[in-house]
Amino acid sequence: MKQVRHQTNVEFVVDLMEFSAHGALIQAFVLQALTQFAQRVAATDPESLDTSLVSGHAWHGCAIEVQQKLKQRFDE
């Protein structure tokens, strides 16, 4: 029996961005989704983001990093 190999998260995102039924429009969609989610998380008190799996401060830091990198990319 052939074993099924699951994609890593990186492979999944690359596949989504490169092989969408909607063509390159998916890239704008994904970037817009990142922008909106990062804005929501960055505007939230880090302590309220705490879960049993991740520190709210770390999650908040991820949002800030994504915002900074998107700003740098689109301000070029």
Per-residue pLDDT 10s for the chain (76 aa) are 777 789 999 999 999 999 999 999 999 999 999 999 999 999 999 999 999 999 999 999 999 999 999 999 999 7
Q: What angle do CA 49, 50, 54 make, to 5 degrees?
A: 110
Enter the pTM of the model: 0.86
